[in-house]
Chains A and B, each alone.
Chain A
């Protein structure tokens, strides 16, 4: 309406489990542009190839795990937000200890909580962008 037309935020969802990608797709596709990756290597390639606002990644994936992925990307794109998912709490603690800017989600999770977390992170980001 004459206002600034904000482009939809783009989220990369990396998980080696089809159903996890699917459910995240179902709940996020209405509000966000989604890119999917089946493993860490594919995720890395896609993040490098195009602009992404947030990365939602599983911890345990073939080739490159979620934590390694975050480390690699943080150097290249420090402004990017990350949400790390795992079914194993120790993985998440390890990630937390490694870097403070990572948000973690333990599987199984409440979809609404994840959606709220993503909304909050992207809102922060859009404020920083102005």
Chain B
């Protein structure tokens, strides 16, 4: 009996001792510096044994174990402390973030340009600054419910999409002149520059400028994308610049109309002046038969001059009704050269041909190309009154046919260069000043251009560039291909031309040039 009582008592004492011991050790270790406690590994286990004596000599042992794993508990405390610190850090970070968000907000809101952040896949507006709300008339909330296209003028959307896609594809900064349509309906001229901003997307969905989630009312990008890409569009208000440009263009147009009017007044007024004067002289009477004939002939030739001018003006303003066909460029050059070279003034000019083989082919009305070339040849001859060399070249590349006409003449004065293609601008005493204008117009109609290089005292080169195929350049050829029977365009654009066409003024024939020589 005595011995049976000994074990439970011993067990209980040991257990109690262990508990007290472990509590003491915990007391000491918790007050130690964490770096020290870290090295202390201890494990105290308390066991409580209860022996229950049942009847019949059966003994049931009940055991309760209480244990502390000091290290574990310390670890928990440590973690708790770390969490506290982390929480502090986070609060600080949030504060900083809020502060930087405030700064960011302030910075973009104070920007003089509208700034829009646009989701790259959906074109959804994610954020916009104050200037953007001013220029579009939409509130921030309204803006963030829209796609970027909703802001542009209908006609500009395609252009805007091209810019967007280009930026998206190349990642390069793109610029474009576009127009916003303000909520109140007015157009706002803007210059847009677009670039991509990439943010690394972390699992928590952060990485974007702080506050986009709360602020934007837009559905967000597909979370599958690892990097969060945004297109930043900076839109500069260029209304004032555009206004000035428009004014300038208008003034330019007026000036050009003025020049045109003065040119016509001059070109018609002069021969009309002679006609009228001769008629007045004839009315006075008293002239001899020879004089009478002379005056009448003068009236006749001066009237023809006015007719000639009208014919040129008609060429200048009417679209062609001729059929476009594949034309052998070298062949047309030869024909044009043959026509002019018979002229007296070409006697002192040495002709050189450097023609491409096989001969380039272009789709054009061959008479019109001939007209352009004759014009350039005559100009070249005029630039070389004392003789010289005229070089004609033809060449091609993948896009264009080049026909260049080079003279070794006087060159074009710098001050005359910009007026070269002005109607009625001429440096020749008997010139009308329409040759180059009409030539340029004809070439432009086929998607081409006339380029000029000139050095004073060395000479000039005029190069006609004609596209090999309009379709390849993306030019709509439909307005050019006018069949003779389909002349509706005439009555739309030039209501008076149809009547004038009945006059025998149209078409430059070889005979015209031969008569000149």
Write the residues of chain A forming the contact surface with B, with a CB cutoff of 8 angstroms: 16-17, 19-20, 22-24, 26-27, 38-39, 60-62, 85-91, 106-112
Which of A39, A60, A61, A112 neighbours the largest number of chain B CB atoms within 10 Å of its CB? A60
- Chain A nearest Cβ from B265, distance in angstroms: 4
Write the residues of chain B forming the contact surface with A, with a CB cutoff of 8 angstroms: 258, 261-262, 265-266, 268-278, 280-281, 298, 301-302, 427-430
Q: Which B residue's beta carbon lies closest to that of A106?
A: B269
15 contacts between A and B (CB under 8 A): A16-B429, A17-B270, A19-B271, A19-B278, A19-B298, A19-B301, A20-B274, A20-B277, A22-B274, A27-B277, A86-B269, A87-B269, A87-B272, A88-B266, A90-B258
- Bound complex: CA of A58 vs CA of B208, how far in Å? 76
- Bound complex: CA of A88 vs CA of B270, how far in Å? 10
Query: Does A26 contact B273, Cβ atoms closer than 8 Å?
Result: no
> In the complex, what residues of B have CB within 8 A of residue A39's CB?
429
Query: Does A90 contact B275, Cβ atoms closer than 8 Å?
Result: no
- Chain A nearest Cβ from B313, distance in angstroms: 16
B262, B271, B276, B298: the one within 8 Å of A88 (CB): B262
Which of A86, A89, A106, A112 neighbours the largest number of chain B CB atoms within 10 Å of its CB? A86
Q: Which B residue's beta carbon lies closest to that of A110?
A: B280
**Chain B interface secondary structure, helix, strand, loop or mixed?**
helix
Query: Does A87 contact B274, Cβ atoms closer than 8 Å?
Result: no
Query: Does B272 contact A107, Cβ atoms closer than 8 Å?
Result: yes
Which of B258, B268, B277, B278 neighbours the largest number of chain A CB atoms within 10 Å of its CB? B277
- Chain A nearest Cβ from B270, distance in angstroms: 5
- Bound complex: CA of A62 vs CA of B276, how far in Å? 24
- Bound complex: CA of A109 vs CA of B430, how far in Å? 21
Which of B265, B274, B429 neighbours the largest number of chain A CB atoms within 10 Å of its CB? B274
Query: Does B298 contact A60, Cβ atoms closer than 8 Å?
Result: no
> In the complex, what residues of B have CB within 8 A of residue A20's CB?
270, 273-274, 277
> In the complex, what residues of A have CB within 8 A of residue B266's CB?
60, 86-88
Query: Does B272 contact A108, Cβ atoms closer than 8 Å?
Result: yes
Of all A-B residue pairs in the complex, the 6 with the closest CB atoms, nearest first, are: A87-B269, A107-B273, A19-B274, A23-B277, A108-B276, A108-B273
> In the complex, what residues of B have CB within 8 A of residue A108's CB?
269, 272-273, 275-277
9 further A-B contacts with Cβ under 8 Å, apart from A16-B430, A39-B429, are A16-B429, A17-B271, A24-B277, A27-B277, A60-B266, A86-B269, A87-B270, A88-B261, A110-B280
- Chain B nearest Cβ from A113, distance in angstroms: 10
Given contacts A26-B281, A27-B281, contact A107 B427 (CB under 8 A): no
